[in-house]
Structure 1
């Protein structure tokens, strides 16, 4: 059995090929059961959660991502989250490859945003407003540059120091990157706005979005989380990665509850876009919104890219 550590997993997932692989898998018959979430307890209390995310292509590959979340680890100086990805031979079930699950998750998340940008942002998009300064946010510019001629990256984060640090790191990668504190003004310059935060309150307002903007929403994956106000879903063209987004994301559930938005106003899923059932952006003035919550298909695509390229 092959084992890829963090650095080896990252090196084996260049964005150009990862984006192409995920797009290909959205055209492939991949089985994705519901994820399993188990509470881990001792005699007194819940210690953490253990999450299992399987996906497979019959006869080819079986993949399983495991995620353990133990919040009290922080008190021990350890990460609260650990993840692995195990790939099995789909013909006989034999264990094949063990990969770093954290790297697969973060890189495929950024790659999915870039794949959506390929269909939904203007082809000449050069200016990105990046909301957030965590691991996934740090990867988004490089991923989008694989599909758009990205030059400028404006960075905003609740903690200015973190945003300035990320902007400096992006400068080292060749981007014209800098911290911004006026989000309304920054939105007026942005061709693409990408939000990758854990926010529970709106950050981006619909009134700030200029004609032709593409709004990419990564962070809100529970009903209590949101990165936008309801107005972002009024008069805009809304796309989602999968139908699951309509059940999970506060960014969608809140405007649905207020009557601003409805499920039947979703233009298409990523499945529809990749399979040619919807062409994506229809005009240069259209404001597009893409909301993703993630899918085990994307993890399997990343793992298969590694082993099939080796």
Structure 2
């Protein structure tokens, strides 16, 4: 007897945004990561330079469990010079297959999926690592990921009342702060752009970085006691968003082990003897499972370094696909 093929759907960026909320995705990741971490196979991503300033990344992942019957593949291009063209530096597409039959289920905007899952992974880590009473968020960078990170952090830390935004281009920081201020006007949250990065770092309870910088931006000496540093931008050893002092002062966690091979902040710190690999306090899954303790006191400085994982992509794609299909079926 022939099996009816599942409907194939194309999910564009606006549909992704309307289907997923930060709260729902953060909750989904928090509840599914413990089991998924043992059933999802995610080999090291393929990274291929296509020019001196561009690269192609291939990120496959598949499930061994019939209760999570998916295979996912994301294709990503990174063009460093796109910022000067007012274009996102990262573009991507994601394809979801049924793992038991191999049938294609969906193609979706991989760039938007990446922005959503990346910001929600940072916000999930913040649940365990930042102070519950955090009031000031500093966003370092004003690119396409910045507004998602701000919104995700506001979701898990509703105590935040002030958001500072710094960018090398002060005009971009100003534009983003004005846009976010209008969006959150009813919530009474203050949005400000700043040219004084070191001063802003010293004032922030949470510092979130999403840049392509190859020179340290956040000075660890400026981090105040109890601060949480969220490092998102770097994904290769030549990139750094903070200096060695931030790594030395902070208790470091990673989204997955690949961060210790790919992130310039950590690779360089290991090479210079700032910290050892054994001193990395744990990974995100260990935090969620309760196998590792997150923030231990009000004065501790914490650091979370993420480089991304195809596991996060599949779980985010699962939620958007299943939510959309249920909506289409009137469930």
1:75/1:186 CA distance change after superposition, 3 Å? closer
The within-5 A match list for 1:220-231 is: 220-231=234-245
Deviation at 1:81, TM superposition (A): 4.8
Q: TM-score, normalised by structure 2?
A: 0.86
2:191 to 153, 164, 177: 177
Equivalent position to 1:7, from 9, 14, 18: 14
Question: Per-residue displacement from partner, 1:71-98 (whole Å, max 9, x unpaired)?
Answer: 8999999877531111111221111111
Deviation (angstroms), 1:273: 0.5
SS in 2 for 1:153: strand
The unaligned stretches of length 5 or more in structure 2 are 1-7, 325-331
What is the rounded CA distance, in whole Å, between the counterparts of 1:249 and 1:140 in structure 2? 19
**CA, structure 1 residues 99+201, in 2 after alignment: closer, same or farther (shift >3 Å)?**
same
Q: In structure 1, what is the equivalent of residue 261 of structure 2?
A: 247
> What is the distance in 1 between the residues matched to 2:321 and 2:88?
28
Quote the offset at 1:51 in angstroms. 2.9
In structure 2, the CA distance between the partners of 1:186 and 1:139, relative to structure 1 (3 Å rule), is: same
1:49 deviates by 4.8
SS of the aligned residue for 1:200 comes to coil
- Secondary structure of 1:64's counterpart equals strand
Q: Residue 85 of structure 1 contacts residue 101 of structure 1 at CA under 8 Å; is this kept in 2?
A: yes
State the Cα deviation string for residues 226-281 of structure 1 (Å, max 9, x = none).
01111011232111111111111111122222211111111110011011101210
Alignment of 1:99-248 (within 5 A): 99-149=108-158, 150-174=160-184, 175-248=189-262
1:17 aligns to what?
Answer: 24
* 1:177 alignment partner, SS class: strand
Matched, 1:308 2:308: no
Q: Which moved more, 1:286-295 or 1:63-72?
A: 63-72
Contact between 1:25 and 1:297, CA under 8 Å: does it hold in 2? no
TM-score normalized with structure 1 length: 0.92
CA 1:90–1:188 in structure 2 vs 1: closer, same or farther (change >3 Å)? Answer: same
Rounded to whole Å, the distance in 1 between the matches of 2:41 and 2:104 is 19
